[in-house]
Amino acid sequence: MGDAVHAMPPLGAHGGNTALRDAAPLAAKLEHAVAQGESLEHALSVYQDEMVPYAFRAVDDASKQVRRLTGSNPVQRWILLRALPRLHRVTVS
């Protein structure tokens, strides 16, 4: 659901997470509107007002990850691509 409407860089599962984050509130808003006899258009408007800021933050976070991984700072690249994976293997084992 969210992947269809949110353009996301391919890092951090933000597209998939946003899809899940979209589904629950949307379902709740629609269910509430039907139960209360309110318009579905109003429910969608309220949902959109809540989700747009979240979606933009998710896109910004993913974009920052892309910039970090593709940056030209050699120390930062070494930490991200060499040191952190090794540390992860040691701490997860």
User: Within 13 Å, how many C-alpha atoms sit on residue 73's CB side?
Assistant: 7
Residue 15: the pLDDT is 64
- In degrees, rounded to 5, the angle at the alpha carbon of residue 45 between the alpha carbons of residues 42 and 50 is 130
- Residue 19 in tokens: 């899809």
* Domain spans, the chain: 2-92
Query: What does each of the 93 residues of the chain score in pLDDT, given as a tens digit?
Result: 544 555 666 666 666 667 777 888 899 999 999 999 999 999 999 998 988 888 788 778 888 888 877 778 888 888 888 888 888 888 886
31 vs 68: CA distance, rounded Å: 41
Phi-psi region of 80 (alpha: psi -120 to 50; beta: other; left: phi over 0): alpha
- The pLDDT value given to residue 52: 83
Contact 62, 14 (CB under 8 A): yes
- pLDDT at residue number 21: 76
